[in-house]
Amino acid sequence: MSFSSALKEKTKKIWEDGYNHPFVQGLGKGTLDKESFLKSNIKKFRRQLL
């Protein structure tokens, strides 16, 4: 098994959990409510300022 295949297998659950997160799914489907989107971006912006 190649290094990249082994790495992919070891991180599969982490990737799936992130992909299946309600925020990510809502964003991808276009069903994410505006408030959740704004809260996420505000948090990200604050982290960038610190």
pLDDT at 20: 97
pLDDT at 21: 93
Which parts of the chain fold into alpha helices (H)? Answer: 3-10, 12-19, 22-29, 34-49
Average predicted confidence (pLDDT) for the chain: 91
Residue 48 CA to chain centroid, in angstroms? 18
pLDDT at 48 > cutoff 90: no
pLDDT at 25 > cutoff 90: yes
